């Protein structure tokens, strides 16, 4: 239904015949939230207007699709809907998250924020694809850092190491630490947060070079670990694995060598 307010979004109701087109296919370009509901359900009548309000506020970043479970029991069964309201978020053609019950607005915002990227995040991701360090510099000027910018910051740090650029490195690492964006890369942060010398930065930068250069660096770190099995020596190797990426062919090889030394 649409009224005279040009910002109101047309309500989409999906059936078994239209679900593939309205939900699966459309979720490949933007997230789709499916609201399984029924006319007799009181909590559904509370949740529905909130979802419609948020869809309008987010202006096309995601789409709301309604499924009446009385009319479409097969769809409800296909997605294991045992109670309503029940919402399933689709992205990339797959269900990726869900919740049951009439959540309050702040919890709905939190749920959506895990999957809907802010416009600033999208712009910075685009900039980072051509100039990772420029993207980091813009992030460092922001009053607060969105969790979604963590990959942009880390990629910028990698590029600084690749170039041997220490000018912005310390500030970027402080931002990562203060914004609680460490996660599994804590070993890398431990190695770099002690203000590494230009020589150490150059050494880590060689991890982006030829296979021979990478092996030379990893062999040096492995020799250090053999001499002293301390935390710093372990962190250097773990940090190197994160910089190379877990799918890099040398990572599995050197992880085995590291395990042999330690155990």
Rounded Cα–Cα distance for residues 160 and 132 (Å): 9
What's residue 60's pLDDT? 82
How far is the C-alpha of 75 from the C-alpha of 105, rounded, in Å? 26
Looking at residue 3, its pLDDT comes to 41
Catalytic-role residue among 23, 44, 84, 149? 44
Task: Provide the domain limits for residue 53.
Answer: 12-113
Considering just the CA atoms, what is the radius of gyration of the chain in Å? 24
What pTM was computed for the model?
0.52
- Strand-strand pairing, 32-37 and 86-91: antiparallel
Residues 81 and 128 in one domain: no
Mean pLDDT, each 10-residue run in order, the chain (263 residues): 46 92 90 96 96 89 95 92 95 90 92 80 86 91 77 85 81 71 58 69 86 94 88 84 83 90 83
130 with 39, same domain?
A: no
What's residue 6's pLDDT? 40
The CATH number of residue 38's host domain is 3.40.30.10
Identify whether 5 is part of a domain. Answer: no
- If one counts the domains in the chain, the total is 2
Selection from 261, 223, 254, 256 nearest residue 239 by Cα: 254
Catalytic residue of the set 14, 23, 34, 41 = 41
Q: What is the pLDDT of residues 225-239, one digit of tens each?
A: 998 887 878 888 888
User: Which of 54, 84, 113 delimits the end of a domain?
Assistant: 113
Is-contact 96 23, C-beta < 8 A? Answer: no
Is the same domain home to 133 and 74? no
Q: What per-residue confidence (pLDDT) applies to 178?
A: 64
Q: What is the pLDDT of residue 9?
A: 55
- pLDDT 10s digits, 98-111: 999 999 998 998 89
Question: Is residue 141 one of the residues assigned to a domain?
Answer: yes
Question: 205 and 164 in contact (C-beta within 8 Å)?
Answer: yes
Q: Which of these three, 113, 140, 167, is where a domain ends?
A: 113
Question: What's the rounded Cα separation, in Å, for the pair 154 and 160?
Answer: 10
Q: Residue 138: inside a domain, yes or no?
A: yes
- Give the pLDDT confidence score for residue 2 in this predicted structure: 39
Is the domain of 83 the same as that of 182?
no
Q: Which of 85, 113, 141 is the last residue of a domain?
A: 113
The pLDDT of residue 135:
92
Q: What is the pLDDT of residue 7?
A: 43
Q: Based on the fold, state whether residues 40 and 108 are members of the same structural domain.
A: yes
Q: What tokens appear for 92 in the block?
A: 């990339």
Q: Which residues of 57-71 are buried (b: 16+ CB within 10 A; e: fewer)?
A: ebeebbbbbbbbbee
Co-location of 101 and 150 in the same domain: no
Active site residue 87: no
Token duo for residue 39: 């006319």
Same structural domain, 42 and 123? no
Provide the pLDDT for residue 94: 87
Residue 7 counted as domain residue:
no
44 is catalytic: yes
CA–CA distance, 247 with 226 (Å, rounded to integer): 25
Residue 131: the pLDDT is 94
Is 83 in the same domain as 187? no
In a shared domain, residues 88 and 125: no
Q: Is residue 132 part of a domain?
A: yes
């Amino acid at each position: 239904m649409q009224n005279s307010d040009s910002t109101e979004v047309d309500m989409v109701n999906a059936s078994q015949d239209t679900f593939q087109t309205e939900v699966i296919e459309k979720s490949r370009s933007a997230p789709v939230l499916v609201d399984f509901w029924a006319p007799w359900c009181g909590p559904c009548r509370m949740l529905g207007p909130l979802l419609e309000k948020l869809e309008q506020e987010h202006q096309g970043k995601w789409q709301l699709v309604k499924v009446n479970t009385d009319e479409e029991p097969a769809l409800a069964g296909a997605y294991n809907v045992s109670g309503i309201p029940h919402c399933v978020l689709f992205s990339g053609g797959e269900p990726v998250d869900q919740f049951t019950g009439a959540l309050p607005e702040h919890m709905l915002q939190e749920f959506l924020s895990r999957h809907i990227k802010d416009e600033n995040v999208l712009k910075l991701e685009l900039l980072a694809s051509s100039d990772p360090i420029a993207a980091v510099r813009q992030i460092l000027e922001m009053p607060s850092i969105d969790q979604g910018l963590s990959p942009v910051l880390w990629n910028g740090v990698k590029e600084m190491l690749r170039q041997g650029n220490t000018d912005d490195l310390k500030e970027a690492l402080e931002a990562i630490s203060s914004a609680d964006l460490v996660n599994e890369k804590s070993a890398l942060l431990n190695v770099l947060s002690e203000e590494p010398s230009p020589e150490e930065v150059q050494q880590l930068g060689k991890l982006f070079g030829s296979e021979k250069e990478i092996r030379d660096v990893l062999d040096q770190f492995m020799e250090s670990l053999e001499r002293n099995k301390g935390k710093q020596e372990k962190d250097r190797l773990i940090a190197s694995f994160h910089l190379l990426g877990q799918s890099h062919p040398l990572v599995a090889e050197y992880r085995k060598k590291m395990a042999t030394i330690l155990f």
